[in-house]
Amino acid sequence: MLKVLIVEDEMIVRINLATLINWEKNGFVICGEAANGKEAIEKIEKHRPHIVIMDVVMPIMDGIELSCYISRKYKNIKMIVLSSYGEFDYVRETLKNGAVDYILKHSLNPSALLDVLNKAK
């Protein structure tokens, strides 16, 4: 099983991600959740996920800062970015830091999530 960490400041989006697919049936397990990049770093150090799904705009530490941290310290962790429509400049920065792909929040559905998870796998 590949461990996945969800990093998203909106609780409803975290819940949606956690319940959108049958994680274990598809070879993944959610190892934790965080509401910002700072919390994510603590969870990464504790759980050592294989994949981090992260929002790009969050309080305290955003997805750009988090992607910089991950790309420097944990080169083996795959990153998937969540964004809204007007955030492509932010997404571009995370892609430069090694993010595998991104998903627009409005188009989040089981098929899109599995596609990007399998790409990261």
Q: What is the pTM of this model?
A: 0.93
Expressed in percent and rounded to 5, the helix, strand and coil fractions of the chain are 50, 25, 25
Query: What does the pLDDT read at residue 66?
Result: 96
Query: What does the pLDDT read at residue 39?
Result: 97
Query: What does the pLDDT read at residue 94?
Result: 81
Alpha-carbon distance of 42 to 111, in angstroms, equals: 30
pLDDT per position as a tens digit, 42-78: 999 999 999 999 999 899 999 999 999 999 999 999 9
Q: Is the pLDDT of residue 85 over 70?
A: no
Length of the chain: 121
Alpha-carbon distance of 50 to 96, in angstroms, equals: 19
